[in-house]
Amino acid sequence: MTPGARVAAAIEVLERIRGGEPAEKALTNWARTARYAGSKDRAALRDHVFSVLRCWWSCAAWGGGEDGRALLLGSLRLQGIDADTVFTGEGHAPAPLTEVERVLAVPDATAVRDLPDWLWERFEASLGANAEAAVEALRVRAPIMLRVNARRATRAAAQARLASEGIVAQPVEIARHALQVIDGERKITTSQCYAEGWVELQDGSSQAAMEALELPDGARVLDYCAGGGGKVLALAARVTGAFFAHDAAPQRMRDLPVRAARAGVDVGLLTQPEGEFDLVLCDAPCSGSGTWRRTPEAKWALTPERLEELTRLQLRILSEAAPLVAPAGRLVYATCSVLKEENQDVIARFASENPEWTVREMQHWPISETGDGFFLSQLERVC
Ligand SMILES: C[S@@+](CC[C@H](N)C(=O)[O-])C[C@H]1O[C@@H](n2cnc3c(N)ncnc32)[C@H](O)[C@@H]1O
């Protein structure tokens, strides 16, 4: 496909999204009707669509409207691409720019903030002077991060082996085993390095948070909201111990046995956890506000009601998990949100309703070049 045809396809997909289709579904549905599109075309299309979703209001301001064509025009202008070279009308490219489109005024960049107003208030209340930087960070593409599995390889060995498979990655400071992928990201999941469990895809802040947990050899660990199991795998790579995973929706853990086998670790799946664990991790469902550059639709879809519902669920999960912690053990609460309603406020409320628990530590990771926004709190029983 030509650059113009890719932009035309992106306009079509954005129209589907405006019509109510979720972005992933709209992209899949489009691909079904366009068998001629190769993997590079699909990746380019996705980039166009996600660039708009991350910066919807800026694109609308720079493109003079909120239909697919205006949004794409705005997105190209924002990226400094001469739209006349793409809107040519040739082949499958979109029609040439009209005079009105060509003379659109460049808006004042500071006047547009790509976040719903109600959320801006929450960002300011949560992050203070860092709120603007967080909103700005959510406007750009997320880094592709790998965690090197210390049970299989050193970071240097994994970096060299990835390079031999055409994947350029470099060590970054955020976590001890973190590599940032610079080139060849589409080869990761088909590489030998990945198949043999040397590396896993995992955001830098999640890696750093799992490294921050004190974990003695032989510990019994329960990942209470395990999902795909990224966190428990990171913990199991650190020490020998007994590792278990639970999720209220067990089907979310379906890939975990394969991932654990690849990584060379054992993780038991528990539908009804019982007994005592030295560490119980609650990586709770949340707004995901720290990860919205990966899932930009979510920042426009969240409502105050949904946020409130999530905080109730987060408190409930902590109450369910707390009895599973051994007397001298730790209850760990984590979210990939930057909102204090889901972080400090949940912890403060839990501690005030459960005075036998005290907060030992609270840590925040900002949305950065190598990590998503992340929150971690560790609680212990009062002696
Ligand atoms: C943020 S995700 C977990 C991500 C996962 N830890 C990882 O690293 O990939 C939250 C998970 O909590 C699960 N969940 C929701 N309500 C729950 C509950 N009451 N008890 C346990 N898990 C729950 C969801 O099904 C979801 O998989």
Assess whether the C-beta atom of 375 lies below 6 angstroms from ligand 1: no
Cα–ligand 1 centroid distance for 284 (angstroms): 6
Of 201, 217, 236, which closes a domain? 201
- Answer yes or no: is pLDDT of 189 > 90: yes
Considering the domain architecture, whether residues 262 and 352 belong to the same structural domain is answered as: yes
Assess whether the C-beta atom of 94 lies below 6 angstroms from ligand 1: no
Considering the domain architecture, whether residues 197 and 216 belong to the same structural domain is answered as: no
CATH number for the domain that contains residue 152: 3.30.70.1170
Q: Considering the chain, what percentage of its residues have pLDDT values greater than 70?
A: 99
Q: Report in angstroms the alpha-carbon separations of 16 from 74, 170, 267, 301, 364.
A: 18, 38, 41, 16, 37
Please give the residue range of the domain that contains residue 171.
Answer: 144-201
Predicted confidence at residue 273, as pLDDT, reads: 97
Considering the domain architecture, whether residues 15 and 153 belong to the same structural domain is answered as: no
Of 177, 201, 225, which closes a domain? 201
| Residues 6 or more apart whose Cβ sits within 8 Å of residue 312 | none
CATH number for the domain that contains residue 256: 3.40.50.150
Assess whether the C-beta atom of 232 lies below 6 angstroms from ligand 1: no
pLDDT band at 317 (very low <50, low <70, confident <90, very high): very high
For residue 129, tell me if it sits in a domain: no
Closest-CA residue, ligand 1 atom 25, reads 249
Predicted confidence at residue 358, as pLDDT, reads: 97
- Whether residue 247 is annotated as binding a ligand: the answer is yes
Least confident of 31-40, 225-234, 312-321: 31-40
For residue 133, tell me if it sits in a domain: no
Cα–ligand 1 centroid distance for 321 (angstroms): 12
- Answer yes or no: is pLDDT of 84 > 90: yes
Atom of ligand 1 nearest to the CA of 231: 8
Predicted confidence at residue 113, as pLDDT, reads: 93
Assess whether the C-beta atom of 372 lies below 6 angstroms from ligand 1: no
Considering the domain architecture, whether residues 177 and 218 belong to the same structural domain is answered as: no
Cβ pair 212, 363 in contact under 8 A: yes
Q: What is the pLDDT of residues 343-383, one digit of tens each?
A: 999 999 999 999 999 999 999 999 999 999 999 999 999 97
Considering the domain architecture, whether residues 231 and 373 belong to the same structural domain is answered as: yes
Q: What is the pLDDT of residues 7-24, one digit of tens each?
A: 999 999 999 999 999 999
Considering the domain architecture, whether residues 25 and 103 belong to the same structural domain is answered as: yes
For residue 43, tell me if it sits in a domain: yes
Considering the domain architecture, whether residues 150 and 236 belong to the same structural domain is answered as: no
Considering the domain architecture, whether residues 232 and 330 belong to the same structural domain is answered as: yes
- Answer yes or no: is pLDDT of 103 > 90: no
Residue 55 annotated as catalytic: no
* Angle (CA) 241 247 250, round 5°: 110
Q: Which of 282, 286, 336, 383 is catalytic?
A: 336
Assess whether the C-beta atom of 247 lies below 6 angstroms from ligand 1: yes
Assess whether the C-beta atom of 237 lies below 6 angstroms from ligand 1: no
Predicted confidence at residue 108, as pLDDT, reads: 76
Cα–ligand 1 centroid distance for 288 (angstroms): 12
- Whether residue 278 is annotated as binding a ligand: the answer is no
Predicted confidence at residue 85, as pLDDT, reads: 94
Tell which residue, 290, 320, 292, 287, has the closest CA to residue 305: 287
For residue 197, tell me if it sits in a domain: yes
Cβ pair 11, 52 in contact under 8 A: no
Predicted confidence at residue 111, as pLDDT, reads: 75
The C-alpha atoms of residue 150 and residue 316 are separated, in whole angstroms, by 34
Considering the domain architecture, whether residues 352 and 297 belong to the same structural domain is answered as: yes
| Average confidence score pLDDT of the chain | 96
3-state secondary structure of 113: coil
Of 168, 201, 234, which closes a domain? 201
Residue to substitute in 203, 221, 225, 255 for testing ligand 1 pocket (most ligand atoms within 8 angstroms of CB): 225
Phi, psi values for residue 65, rounded to 5°: 170, 180
Q: What is the pLDDT of residues 264-308, one digit of tens each?
A: 999 999 999 999 999 999 999 999 999 999 999 999 999 999 999
- Answer yes or no: is pLDDT of 310 > 90: yes
Considering the domain architecture, whether residues 167 and 215 belong to the same structural domain is answered as: no
Assess whether the C-beta atom of 224 lies below 6 angstroms from ligand 1: yes
Q: Considering the chain, what percentage of its residues have pLDDT values greater than 90?
A: 96
Predicted confidence at residue 35, as pLDDT, reads: 87
For residue 61, tell me if it sits in a domain: yes
> 277: which 2 tokens?
């664990």
Considering the domain architecture, whether residues 61 and 165 belong to the same structural domain is answered as: no
223: which strand partners?
A: 245, 281
Residue to substitute in 247, 255, 256, 331 for testing ligand 1 pocket (most ligand atoms within 8 angstroms of CB): 247
Closest-CA residue, ligand 1 atom 17, reads 248
Phi, psi values for residue 23, rounded to 5°: -55, -45
For residue 250, tell me if it sits in a domain: yes
For residue 121, tell me if it sits in a domain: no
Q: What is the pLDDT of residues 203-230, one digit of tens each?
A: 999 999 999 999 999 999 999 999 999 9
Considering the domain architecture, whether residues 150 and 100 belong to the same structural domain is answered as: no
- Answer yes or no: is pLDDT of 38 > 80: yes
Predicted confidence at residue 383, as pLDDT, reads: 72
For residue 153, tell me if it sits in a domain: yes
Domain count, the chain: 3
